[in-house]
Amino acid sequence: MIVDLNLQSKRIVVVGGGKEAEKRINSLLNQDCETLVISDSINTQIKKLVRTKKIKLKTQKVQDTKFISQLKPDIIVTTTNNKKLNQKIINSAKRKKIIVYSSDNPEESDFSNPSIIDFEKIIQIAIFTGGQSPAMSKKIKTKSENLFRKIITHEDISHIKIQNTARKLAKEIIHTQPQRKEYLHNIMTDNTIDQLIKDGQMNKAEKRAIAILRNWK
């Protein structure tokens, strides 16, 4: 089962500071969560993220699993080169009912990392092989990315942005979920909004969506 976790305000601890850790950190940057790296050394890219306060760093050589009780993470991602240590972290996390992922042991991890085709951090398409072949996930992503970029347009992204704004406002004005759903479908299929988006007039398109909301009955 593929799910998209809501990580808002969650604490994610990434163990390790190399290239593999960097990949996992990058996948968390848009999740509005607290990302804490614990390692005695980190690469240049991770240093930049620490310096710009996008993530936090605890400089420490990890030799055991005591950090789990100290930091109380919601999720642990371990990326060290020490397979025995990674396994200890997996075992300890599972005992404590903490979601855990190990880059060198996807079979015993609680989730897998699919290859992602990303559209402006708004639409993500996951290529997933159930952890059986990350290499094939990457290969299929490369083969299919150009096709998806032809299908999903900039106008689609703009519609999503307007839907996001409209949904927040609709919760304050329309008090039933079926009515909100009808309203959102209405603006999604509105020819005027569609044309304004195609003409690059996003502000006017948003104003049109808000005007429809104010007149909604």
pLDDT of 201 > 80? The answer is: yes
**Summary mean pLDDT of the chain:** 93
Q: Which residue has the tokens 């880059």?
A: 103
Instruction: Say what the pLDDT of residue 210 is.
Output: 95
Domain that holds residue 167: 155-214
Query: What tens digit of pLDDT does each residue of 163-195 get?
Result: 999 999 999 999 999 999 999 999 999 999 999
Please identify, among 113, 140, 170, the residue that sits at the C-terminal boundary of a domain.
113
What is the mean predicted confidence (pLDDT) over 36-60?
97
Bridge partners for 35 per DSSP: 12
User: Can you spell out the DSSP letters for 39-104?
Assistant: ES---HHHHHHHHTTSSEEEE----SSHHHHHH--SEEEE--S-HHHHHHHHHHHHHTT-EEEETT
pLDDT of 61 > 80? The answer is: yes
Q: Are residues 15 and 109 in the same domain?
A: yes
In-domain check, residue 209: yes
- CA-to-CA distance for 2 and 14, rounded, in angstroms? 22
Write the CB contacts of 170 (distance below 8 Å, at least 6 apart in sequence): 180, 183, 184, 213
Instruction: Say what the pLDDT of residue 128 is.
Output: 81
Q: Confidence band (pLDDT; 50, 70, 90) for 126?
A: confident
What is the mean predicted confidence (pLDDT) over 89-108?
94
Instruction: Say what the pLDDT of residue 1 is.
Output: 66
Instruction: Say what the pLDDT of residue 217 is.
Output: 72
Instruction: Say what the pLDDT of residue 112 is.
Output: 81
Please identify, among 60, 80, 113, the residue that sits at the C-terminal boundary of a domain.
113
CATH code for position 71? 3.40.50.720
Instruction: Say what the pLDDT of residue 77 is.
Output: 97
Q: Confidence band (pLDDT; 50, 70, 90) for 32?
A: very high
Q: Are residues 107 and 16 in the same domain?
A: yes
Please identify, among 113, 134, 168, the residue that sits at the C-terminal boundary of a domain.
113
Instruction: Say what the pLDDT of residue 43 is.
Output: 97
Instruction: Say what the pLDDT of residue 198 is.
Output: 95
Helical axes 177-188 vs 154-173, angle rounded to 10°? 150
- How many domains in the chain? 2
Instruction: Say what the pLDDT of residue 154 is.
Output: 94
Instruction: Say what the pLDDT of residue 107 is.
Output: 85
pTM, two decimals, is: 0.76
